[in-house]
Amino acid sequence: MTKRLFDLFSSSVGLILLSPIFLCVSVLICLDSKGPIFFRQKRMGKKKIPFNIYKFRTMVDGAALLGPLITTDGNKRVTRVGKILRKTKIDEIPQLINVLKGEMSLVGPRPEVEKYVLLYKEDYQEILTVRPGVTDIASILFRDEETILQHQDHPEEYYQYVLLPKKIQLAKEYITKSSILYDLKLILLTFFRIFFPRI
Protein backbone atom coordinates (compact mmCIF):
# COMPACT_ATOMS: atom_id res chain seq x y z
CA MET A 1 0.00 0.00 0.00
CA THR A 2 1.37 3.43 -0.93
CA LYS A 3 1.53 6.26 1.59
CA ARG A 4 -1.26 8.19 -0.18
CA LEU A 5 -3.61 5.18 -0.22
CA PHE A 6 -2.86 4.61 3.45
CA ASP A 7 -3.69 8.28 4.17
CA LEU A 8 -6.92 8.14 2.16
CA PHE A 9 -8.13 4.97 3.85
CA SER A 10 -7.14 6.05 7.37
CA SER A 11 -8.55 9.59 7.12
CA SER A 12 -11.86 8.35 5.62
CA VAL A 13 -12.33 5.72 8.34
CA GLY A 14 -11.17 8.16 11.01
CA LEU A 15 -13.65 10.86 9.97
CA ILE A 16 -16.51 8.34 10.00
CA LEU A 17 -15.60 6.82 13.38
CA LEU A 18 -14.88 10.19 14.99
CA SER A 19 -18.01 11.93 13.66
CA PRO A 20 -19.74 11.72 17.11
CA ILE A 21 -16.73 13.52 18.63
CA PHE A 22 -16.95 16.15 15.87
CA LEU A 23 -20.58 16.76 16.80
CA CYS A 24 -20.00 16.91 20.57
CA VAL A 25 -16.97 19.17 20.31
CA SER A 26 -18.77 21.48 17.87
CA VAL A 27 -21.65 21.92 20.34
CA LEU A 28 -19.27 22.57 23.25
CA ILE A 29 -17.33 25.20 21.28
CA CYS A 30 -20.56 27.00 20.34
CA LEU A 31 -21.78 26.98 23.95
CA ASP A 32 -18.43 28.12 25.35
CA SER A 33 -17.65 31.16 23.21
CA LYS A 34 -18.67 33.15 20.16
CA GLY A 35 -17.01 32.41 16.85
CA PRO A 36 -16.61 29.67 14.24
CA ILE A 37 -16.22 25.99 15.14
CA PHE A 38 -13.07 25.59 13.08
CA PHE A 39 -9.86 27.57 13.19
CA ARG A 40 -8.18 27.93 9.80
CA GLN A 41 -4.66 29.18 9.24
CA LYS A 42 -2.49 29.41 6.14
CA ARG A 43 0.40 26.94 6.26
CA MET A 44 3.05 26.01 3.71
CA GLY A 45 2.51 22.63 2.07
CA LYS A 46 4.37 20.32 -0.28
CA LYS A 47 6.28 22.21 -3.00
CA LYS A 48 5.62 25.40 -1.00
CA ILE A 49 1.95 25.41 -1.99
CA PRO A 50 0.00 27.15 0.79
CA PHE A 51 -3.16 25.60 2.24
CA ASN A 52 -5.57 26.23 5.09
CA ILE A 53 -4.99 23.90 8.03
CA TYR A 54 -8.12 22.92 9.99
CA LYS A 55 -8.34 22.69 13.76
CA PHE A 56 -11.14 23.01 16.28
CA ARG A 57 -11.15 26.60 17.50
CA THR A 58 -9.55 26.75 20.94
CA MET A 59 -9.16 30.52 21.27
CA VAL A 60 -11.44 33.52 21.38
CA ASP A 61 -12.60 34.75 17.99
CA GLY A 62 -10.00 37.03 16.43
CA ALA A 63 -7.19 35.70 18.65
CA ALA A 64 -4.65 36.13 15.84
CA LEU A 65 -5.01 39.90 16.22
CA LEU A 66 -4.48 39.75 20.00
CA GLY A 67 -1.11 38.05 20.24
CA PRO A 68 1.83 36.25 18.59
CA LEU A 69 1.71 33.22 16.29
CA ILE A 70 2.90 30.90 19.05
CA THR A 71 0.85 30.03 22.13
CA THR A 72 2.19 29.49 25.63
CA ASP A 73 0.54 27.48 28.39
CA GLY A 74 -1.96 29.61 30.31
CA ASN A 75 -2.49 32.03 27.41
CA LYS A 76 -5.58 34.17 28.11
CA ARG A 77 -6.72 33.86 24.49
CA VAL A 78 -7.47 30.14 25.02
CA THR A 79 -11.10 29.36 25.94
CA ARG A 80 -12.22 26.99 28.72
CA VAL A 81 -13.13 24.24 26.25
CA GLY A 82 -10.02 25.11 24.26
CA LYS A 83 -7.76 24.22 27.19
CA ILE A 84 -9.16 20.68 27.24
CA LEU A 85 -9.01 20.32 23.45
CA ARG A 86 -5.38 21.44 23.33
CA LYS A 87 -4.33 19.28 26.27
CA THR A 88 -5.87 16.14 24.75
CA LYS A 89 -4.90 17.10 21.17
CA ILE A 90 -8.54 16.71 20.12
CA ASP A 91 -8.24 20.12 18.43
CA GLU A 92 -6.02 18.45 15.81
CA ILE A 93 -8.66 15.93 14.65
CA PRO A 94 -10.08 18.17 11.85
CA GLN A 95 -6.72 17.86 10.09
CA LEU A 96 -8.04 14.52 8.84
CA ILE A 97 -9.93 16.72 6.37
CA ASN A 98 -6.59 18.09 5.14
CA VAL A 99 -5.31 14.52 4.82
CA LEU A 100 -8.37 13.48 2.84
CA LYS A 101 -7.91 16.47 0.51
CA GLY A 102 -4.27 15.53 -0.09
CA GLU A 103 -2.84 18.66 1.54
CA MET A 104 -1.40 16.71 4.46
CA SER A 105 -0.38 13.19 5.40
CA LEU A 106 -1.06 11.39 8.68
CA VAL A 107 2.67 11.42 9.37
CA GLY A 108 5.15 14.00 8.12
CA PRO A 109 6.93 17.20 9.16
CA ARG A 110 4.49 19.53 10.90
CA PRO A 111 3.41 22.38 8.58
CA GLU A 112 4.63 25.85 9.44
CA VAL A 113 3.43 29.35 8.67
CA GLU A 114 5.17 31.21 5.85
CA LYS A 115 7.05 33.49 8.27
CA TYR A 116 9.03 30.60 9.75
CA VAL A 117 9.51 28.84 6.42
CA LEU A 118 11.12 31.98 5.00
CA LEU A 119 13.35 32.18 8.07
CA TYR A 120 14.88 28.80 7.18
CA LYS A 121 14.46 28.80 3.38
CA GLU A 122 17.20 26.29 2.55
CA ASP A 123 16.05 23.75 5.14
CA TYR A 124 12.44 23.92 4.00
CA GLN A 125 13.54 23.50 0.41
CA GLU A 126 14.19 19.87 1.40
CA ILE A 127 11.42 19.46 3.99
CA LEU A 128 8.65 20.63 1.65
CA THR A 129 9.43 17.94 -0.90
CA VAL A 130 7.00 15.80 1.16
CA ARG A 131 3.49 16.42 2.46
CA PRO A 132 3.35 17.88 5.97
CA GLY A 133 1.79 15.63 8.59
CA VAL A 134 -0.65 15.57 11.48
CA THR A 135 2.08 14.07 13.64
CA ASP A 136 5.84 13.50 13.46
CA ILE A 137 8.85 12.90 15.68
CA ALA A 138 8.84 16.52 16.91
CA SER A 139 5.14 16.31 17.86
CA ILE A 140 5.99 13.38 20.13
CA LEU A 141 9.18 14.82 21.65
CA PHE A 142 7.78 18.34 22.11
CA ARG A 143 4.25 17.42 23.12
CA ASP A 144 4.50 19.94 26.00
CA GLU A 145 5.71 22.74 23.76
CA GLU A 146 3.33 25.31 25.25
CA THR A 147 4.64 24.59 28.75
CA ILE A 148 8.24 24.83 27.53
CA LEU A 149 7.53 28.22 25.96
CA GLN A 150 5.73 29.46 29.07
CA HIS A 151 8.98 29.32 31.04
CA GLN A 152 10.95 31.41 28.53
CA ASP A 153 11.54 35.15 28.91
CA HIS A 154 11.11 35.61 25.16
CA PRO A 155 8.95 32.67 23.98
CA GLU A 156 8.64 33.66 20.33
CA GLU A 157 12.41 34.13 19.95
CA TYR A 158 13.01 30.85 21.78
CA TYR A 159 10.66 29.09 19.38
CA GLN A 160 12.29 30.60 16.28
CA TYR A 161 15.93 30.09 17.23
CA VAL A 162 15.92 27.10 19.60
CA LEU A 163 12.85 24.88 19.14
CA LEU A 164 12.31 25.36 15.41
CA PRO A 165 15.88 24.37 14.41
CA LYS A 166 15.44 21.18 16.46
CA LYS A 167 12.13 20.50 14.69
CA ILE A 168 13.79 21.08 11.32
CA GLN A 169 16.52 18.57 12.16
CA LEU A 170 13.88 15.99 13.17
CA ALA A 171 11.88 16.68 9.99
CA LYS A 172 14.93 15.91 7.86
CA GLU A 173 15.53 12.75 9.89
CA TYR A 174 11.94 11.66 9.20
CA ILE A 175 12.39 12.10 5.44
CA THR A 176 15.39 9.76 5.44
CA LYS A 177 13.53 7.08 7.44
CA SER A 178 10.07 7.47 5.89
CA SER A 179 8.11 4.26 5.24
CA ILE A 180 4.64 2.86 6.02
CA LEU A 181 6.04 0.83 8.92
CA TYR A 182 7.85 3.85 10.34
CA ASP A 183 4.65 5.91 9.99
CA LEU A 184 2.69 3.26 11.90
CA LYS A 185 5.31 3.33 14.64
CA LEU A 186 5.03 7.12 14.97
CA ILE A 187 1.21 6.97 15.00
CA LEU A 188 1.31 4.42 17.84
CA LEU A 189 3.86 6.52 19.75
CA THR A 190 1.66 9.59 19.29
CA PHE A 191 -1.36 7.80 20.80
CA PHE A 192 0.82 6.47 23.61
CA ARG A 193 2.01 9.99 24.49
CA ILE A 194 -1.56 11.30 24.44
CA PHE A 195 -2.95 8.62 26.74
CA PHE A 196 0.15 8.23 28.94
CA PRO A 197 1.74 11.70 28.95
CA ARG A 198 3.71 11.21 32.16
CA ILE A 199 5.52 8.02 31.11
3-state secondary structure 47-80: HHCEEEEEEECCECCCHHHCCCCCCCCCCCCECH
Q: What pLDDT, on the 0 to 100 scale, is given for residue 51?
A: 98
Q: What pLDDT, on the 0 to 100 scale, is given for residue 55?
A: 97
Which tens digit of pLDDT belongs to each residue from 67-123?
777 787 788 899 999 999 999 999 999 999 999 999 999 999 999 999 999 999 999
Does residue 195 surpass a pLDDT of 90?
no
Q: What pLDDT, on the 0 to 100 scale, is given for residue 1?
A: 67
Which tens digit of pLDDT belongs to each residue from 147-193?
899 889 999 999 999 999 999 999 999 999 999 999 999 999 999 88
- Bigger pLDDT: 145 vs 199: 145
The pTM for the full model equals: 0.92
Q: In this structure, are residues 108 and 127 in contact, taking their beta carbons and an 8 Å threshold? A: no
Which tens digit of pLDDT belongs to each residue from 124-144?
999 999 999 999 999 999 988
Which tens digit of pLDDT belongs to each residue from 34-62?
999 999 999 999 999 999 999 999 999 88
Q: What pLDDT, on the 0 to 100 scale, is given for residue 194?
A: 84
CA distance 190 to 2: 21
Q: What pLDDT, on the 0 to 100 scale, is given for residue 199?
A: 63
Residues 6+ apart with CB under 8 A from 147: 73
User: How would you class 25 by CB atoms within 10 Å of its CB: exposed for 0-12, middle for 13-18, buried for 19 or more?
Assistant: buried
CA distance 68 to 70: 5
Residues 6+ apart with CB under 8 A from 66: 60, 77
